[in-house]
Amino acid sequence: MVITHSQYQDMPPAVQESVLNVVGGYPLSGQVRVSGAKNSALVLMAASLLCPQELCLRNVPNLADVERMAEIIRSLGASVVKADDSLLLNASNIGQSSAPYDLVSQLRASFFAIGPIVARLGEAKMPLPGGCAIGARPVDLHVRGLRALGADVQIDHGIVHAYVRGQQKRLTGARIYLDCPSVGATETLMMAATLAEGETIIENAAQEPEVVDLANFCCSMGAKIRGAGTKTIVISGVRELHATDYGIVPDRIEAGTFLVAGAITHSSDFTLTPVVPAHLTAVMTKLRSVGAEVSIEAPNTMRVVSSRPLTAVDIETLPFPGFPTDMQAQFMALLTLSEGNSVITETVFENRLRHVAELNRMGADIRVKGNIAVVRGVPFLSGAPVLATDLRASAALVIAGLAAQGTTQIRGLHHLDRGYEKLEDKLRNLGACIERANIDVEPDGIASSASLTNSPLDQPAPLKP
């Protein structure tokens, strides 16, 4: 088809999009600083709504998701002031107004704020968050648990409205059994129960380190919580919480992502700090099975040394202390280059294998049936233009790019920016060849071919030792 001059003028102009260009084959060495945990930061910000006094959160990662959570909290009447990696939060004057759906739909964790608000004010409204790229992600366990604590909960026109009858407007402690150990439901109900009258017991609770961090944070504000980190959490309600100054735990998923980056690249040797090695037991065990050398150098420092050959290993994602679903995509990238067949079973989310198609574009050999992926190891990956489909998938593509021959160009960086603070700076400091660039994208979403080949990193990758 020939496009006439006037048709050409009518076409909408190309827009610019940020991409990451990664040239594979560079060894990583040095030390990387791990940021505060994204998933802790988000829920601790929600928990700040429980307290009528000013709080300080430290070690807060600088991420798009944290910005969004701050907007949600502000929309409810609280103030959030950022200073370096700290947040000053003041929820002395919050209201029951519903947070905007646009924000809640972009950030599922913002729904968790329903627990603190109903606990503190006796009434809360939150839009249903809806599904997301990795699954339907219902909130039925949150709703059932709030009902068990004495709230009336109605869902009308997409808004969840929870309120407590009676003069006191106070939730009442209850024994709650969760059908599955949902992280979010455990957190919502733990927060709600801190101000309830009497004792709450959450059975089959999630045991993730972020749940423990939330419990520690709430206890530092005067809450009475026992058993966080086990399957049974007991919360004795108190009347009011008080000010605190609290540092968020290191991000185990960011740390795990770097460990995999160390394992997949040739001749790499670097340390990560701060980390809590106990949070990474499953990841460390599987990395060692694949053939990487992973060691604990100090109580808060780990070291990864790459080693060859990499061998296939099977993985099944499970709630903590099992292998984390948030590390599945990154590990799949590693297994594409491991000798033999690996079977990856995703049991936590129903739609979390969309990165397979992108890894296959880079030369991987992965087949999917339902929630199972069979990865047949290949001798090498080759750089290609790829699209990130969700947060951890984008990290997997970066990892694959670090090991691939030639340049990998990754689009869809809004996913990456949700959860990784300065990933490319940290990798570059370790010696990776990675750079963010702007490309022209046609209105149909296709990157113009000129922008794909005009990489500022157009240089040969080093020879493999």
Q: Which residues are catalytic?
A: 132
Using the rule CB under 6 A, give the single segment among 91-99, 175-183, 265-273, 306-314 that binds ligand UD1.
175-183
By beta-carbon proximity to ligand UD1, the closer residue of 139 and 315 is 139
Residues 25-44 close enough to bind ligand UD1 by CB under 6 A = 39, 42
One symbol per residue from 132 to 171: x for binding ligand UD1 (CB under 6 A), - otherwise; what is it? ---x-xxxxxx-----------------------------
Which residue in the block uniquely carries the two structure tokens 């000798």?
A: 339
> How many Å apart are CA 204 and CA 436, to the nearest integer?
43
- Angle at Cα 414 formed by Cα 56 and Cα 442, nearest 5°? 155
Q: Residue 194 interacts with ligand UD1 (CB under 6 A)?
A: no
Smallest distance from the beta carbon of 107 to ligand UD1, in angstroms?
A: 8
Q: Residue 182 interacts with ligand UD1 (CB under 6 A)?
A: yes
What does the DSSP assignment read for 142-161?
A: HHHHHHHTT-EEEEETTEEE
Omega within 30 of 0 (cis) for the link into 209: no
The one among 349, 373, 393, 411 contacting ligand UD1 by CB under 6 A = 349
Buried b or exposed e, range 92-130, using 16+ CB within 10 angstroms: eebebebbeeeebbbbbbbbbbbbbbbbbbbbbbbbbbb
Residues 310-339 close enough to bind ligand UD1 by CB under 6 A = 325-326
> How many Å apart are CA 98 and CA 114, to the nearest integer?
10
By beta-carbon proximity to ligand UD1, the closer residue of 28 and 183 is 183
By beta-carbon proximity to ligand UD1, the closer residue of 141 and 263 is 141
What does the DSSP assignment read for 82-103?
A: EETTEEEEE-TT---PPPPHHH
Residues 118-137 close enough to bind ligand UD1 by CB under 6 A = 135, 137
By beta-carbon proximity to ligand UD1, the closer residue of 395 and 404 is 395
For 26, list phi and psi in degrees, rounded to 5.
-90, 135
Smallest distance from the beta carbon of 316 to ligand UD1, in angstroms?
A: 14
Identity of the amino acid at 397: L
Q: Residue 207 interacts with ligand UD1 (CB under 6 A)?
A: no
By beta-carbon proximity to ligand UD1, the closer residue of 120 and 352 is 352
Smallest distance from the beta carbon of 425 to ligand UD1, in angstroms?
A: 23
Identity of the amino acid at 296: I
Smallest distance from the beta carbon of 109 to ligand UD1, in angstroms?
A: 4
> How many Å apart are CA 146 and CA 155, to the nearest integer?
13
By beta-carbon proximity to ligand UD1, the closer residue of 210 and 421 is 210
Contacts with 330 (C-beta within 8 Å, 6 or more apart), sequence order? 256, 257, 260, 392, 395, 396, 399
The one among 87, 183, 334, 359 contacting ligand UD1 by CB under 6 A = 183
Residues 101-120 close enough to bind ligand UD1 by CB under 6 A = 108-109
Smallest distance from the beta carbon of 448 to ligand UD1, in angstroms?
A: 34
List residues bridging with 302 in a β-sheet: 272, 296
Query: Given the DSSP bridges, would you call strands 86-90 and 123-127 parallel, antiparallel or unpaired?
Result: unpaired
Residues at the contact surface with ligand UD1, assessed by CB under 6 A: 39, 42, 108-109, 135, 137-142, 180, 182-185, 206, 210, 325-326, 348-349
